[in-house]
Chains A and B, each alone.
Chain A
Amino acid sequence: MQTLKAEKKSISSNNDQELVNLLEIEDLSVHLGGNQILKNINMVVKKGHIHAVIGPNGAGKTTLMRSIMGGMPHQGIIRFLFRSNSKIGYVPQLLEFDHSVPITVCDFVSIMLQDKPIFLSGSGSIRKKIVETLAITESEHLIDRLIGGLSGGEFRRVLLAQALEPLPEILLLDEPASNIDEYGAMLFEQMLNRLREEHGLTILMVGHDIKMILRMADRVTSINRRVMFDGTPDELQGPGKVDELFNGSMAISTENMEG
């Protein structure tokens, strides 16, 4: 963990002021079924940053993510400062399907990379492309495994691989630390740090895993329907600070945070 921390610090040593904005959110509000889910959210994601959005369950994190992806009616402005919407890579938290249906990693990646229905295309034609895609996250050996049978860490790497093909301008990670063991999480973090160095990726991650976020993020926005905190992870380090933000709904002791 110590090495990871050191690595992070070296990457993020650039002065924040010099970085350009990649994503700007102004006065974002979302109402759903008569409830206000998000209220006047303002935040900016800088190019090259790992930006974390944290908050307790039900704080509106997923709604924020959906709004950014354009899948949610909202008020306010969400502005991407690059050309096309297609350059967003998205790593979902989970895939929703009946897990007794046999869907292989190959099937899953193919349906995203080709229009031709999977049952009308030969297995060989797109396989090379899929192997190349999986290789980005060193997961090409998983190609014939069933999605439902992957470990948390393997699953996350497959999801990350698809998000990087084609290479996006910004990577959105939804709850990257869920359903994953300590070792898997560490591998995943190393991979993210490496990808970010190699490709200059900007990463926006949403989650409630404070440990991972304090280790990795350059900037943290905490929300609970509205913005509760916006600053660097160091500013969050004070005793009781995290508890306060999470309204006691998610008590995390400082020992836990040290990992």
Chain B
Amino acid sequence: MESLYELIGGWATQGYLPAIFEHTFMIRGMLAAILIGPLLGGIGTVVVTKKLSFFTQTIGNGALSGVAIGLLFGEPVEGTYAGLYGFCLIVALLMTFVKNRSRLSNDTVIGVVLAQVLGFGIFMLVVVTNNFNIHQVEGILFGSLITLTDNDLIALGLASMIVGVIFCLIFNKIMLVGFNPILAKARGLRPVFLEYTFVVLMTIVVVASLKLIGALLVLVLIVVPAAGAQNIVSNLRQFVWVSIVFSTISTSVGLLLSAIFPIPSGAVIVLVSSLIFYGTLVLRPLFGKSGVQQGQA
């Protein structure tokens, strides 16, 4: 890792990159932003199409408890990965299970779990913060560039490779399952297996983006680029690509700005993605879209 930082830092010294890249934390942050951006944009297209926004938020809320549980079991403050992945995966899989097995609507299941996970998280934090510093947790909630470590970057690299490959393999299938699970079954797919696989992918992406964007803001980065993209695209292929471009611009430009102004990276990244979104709203008529969607079928 060190030689990579030296190489990129060298470009900054020579004036090829802004001077801010002489700092290792900035290089780390930018690498993280470029790795996580496309994942958020890609996953976001499916989340928006399948109306899973608040499902994602629930996973994010689970991060509070995840960190607390990780700390309880003796994981270091800067990387409570077992606690985070463990707890968030359990929450996500359990929610999917309950949704499939009960007659409750998706919305109700999410509402119930969202509240419970948040309450449990706060409870756990109070229990655990007796013996550690609350500011570390703020980093989890709002994103904190400074706390990003080499290990985080390696974990992020691994996550983006795994998620990227699986996402490409199941994209068509998971879309079809979302449209109609029985139709997916009729076309020889395994809807339940695919649904769980996608839930695992979502969880990995959410947890991987915690340090850069923060648990409370990650939902925005999954939903807003895709929402912006759908304002100006005219088919599914464009939808995925434009969403990926929007989210990657948001994470990288947002990060750069957060280094210049002393605001948490997550907040600036969200602001940039929001600006893009409002831009697409303004530009919408240029892409032949009327203000009102005529929707039926």
Binding site for B on A (CB under 8 A): 32-33, 35, 65-66, 69-71, 85-86, 88-90, 92, 94-104, 106-108, 110-112, 114-121, 123, 147-152, 155, 163, 172, 174, 179
Determine if A101 and B296 form an interchain contact, defined as CB atoms under 8 angstroms apart: no
Binding site for A on B (CB under 8 A): 45, 48-51, 101-103, 167-169, 171-173, 175-176, 178-183, 185-188, 191, 230, 233-241, 293-297
Determine if A89 and B295 form an interchain contact, defined as CB atoms under 8 angstroms apart: no
Determine if A71 and B191 form an interchain contact, defined as CB atoms under 8 angstroms apart: yes
Q: What DSSP secondary structure best describes chain A's contact surface?
A: mixed
User: What are 18 inter-chain pairs, A to B, with CB distance below 8 A?
Assistant: A69-B185, A71-B181, A85-B188, A90-B182, A95-B179, A97-B49, A97-B178, A97-B179, A101-B48, A102-B233, A104-B236, A117-B168, A119-B237, A149-B294, A149-B295, A150-B297, A152-B297, A179-B296
Residue from the list A65, A116, A148 in contact with B293, Cβ < 8 A: A148
Say how far A151's CB is from chain B's closest CB, in angstroms.
8
How far, in whole Å, are A97 and B167 apart by their CA atoms in the complex? 19
Residue from the list A35, A66, A111 in contact with B175, Cβ < 8 A: A111
Top-4 shortest CB links A-B: A90-B186, A99-B295, A119-B240, A107-B236
Given contacts A33-B103, A118-B172, A149-B295, contact A101 B185 (CB under 8 A): no
> Which of the listed residues B173, B237, B295 has the most CB atoms from chain A within 10 Å of its own CB?
B237
Q: What DSSP secondary structure best describes chain B's contact surface?
A: helix
Given contacts A117-B172, A149-B295, contact A96 B240 (CB under 8 A): no
Determine if A179 and B176 form an interchain contact, defined as CB atoms under 8 angstroms apart: no
> Which of the listed residues B180, B186, B234, B294 has the most CB atoms from chain A within 10 Å of its own CB?
B186
Determine if B297 and A102 form an interchain contact, defined as CB atoms under 8 angstroms apart: no
Residue from the list A35, A92, A150 in contact with B183, Cβ < 8 A: A92
- Given A92-B182, A99-B293, 4 additional A-B pairs, CB 8 A: A69-B182, A90-B187, A107-B237, A112-B187
How far, in whole Å, are A123 and B167 apart by their CA atoms in the complex? 20
* Chain B neighbourhood of A155, CB < 8 A: 297
How far, in whole Å, are A121 and B171 apart by their CA atoms in the complex? 12
Determine if A102 and B182 form an interchain contact, defined as CB atoms under 8 angstroms apart: no
Determine if A147 and B297 form an interchain contact, defined as CB atoms under 8 angstroms apart: yes
How far, in whole Å, are A33 and B235 apart by their CA atoms in the complex? 39
Given contacts A33-B103, A150-B297, contact A98 B48 (CB under 8 A): yes
Determine if B235 and A106 form an interchain contact, defined as CB atoms under 8 angstroms apart: yes
Residue from the list A88, A92, A110, A119 in contact with B180, Cβ < 8 A: A92
Given contacts A33-B103, A65-B182, A71-B185, contact A111 B297 (CB under 8 A): no
* Chain A neighbourhood of B188, CB < 8 A: 85-86
Given contacts A119-B237, A119-B240, A147-B297, contact A101 B49 (CB under 8 A): yes
Determine if A71 and B103 form an interchain contact, defined as CB atoms under 8 angstroms apart: no
How far, in whole Å, are A173 and B222 apart by their CA atoms in the complex? 36
Residue from the list A65, A70, A108, A118 in contact with B171, Cβ < 8 A: A118
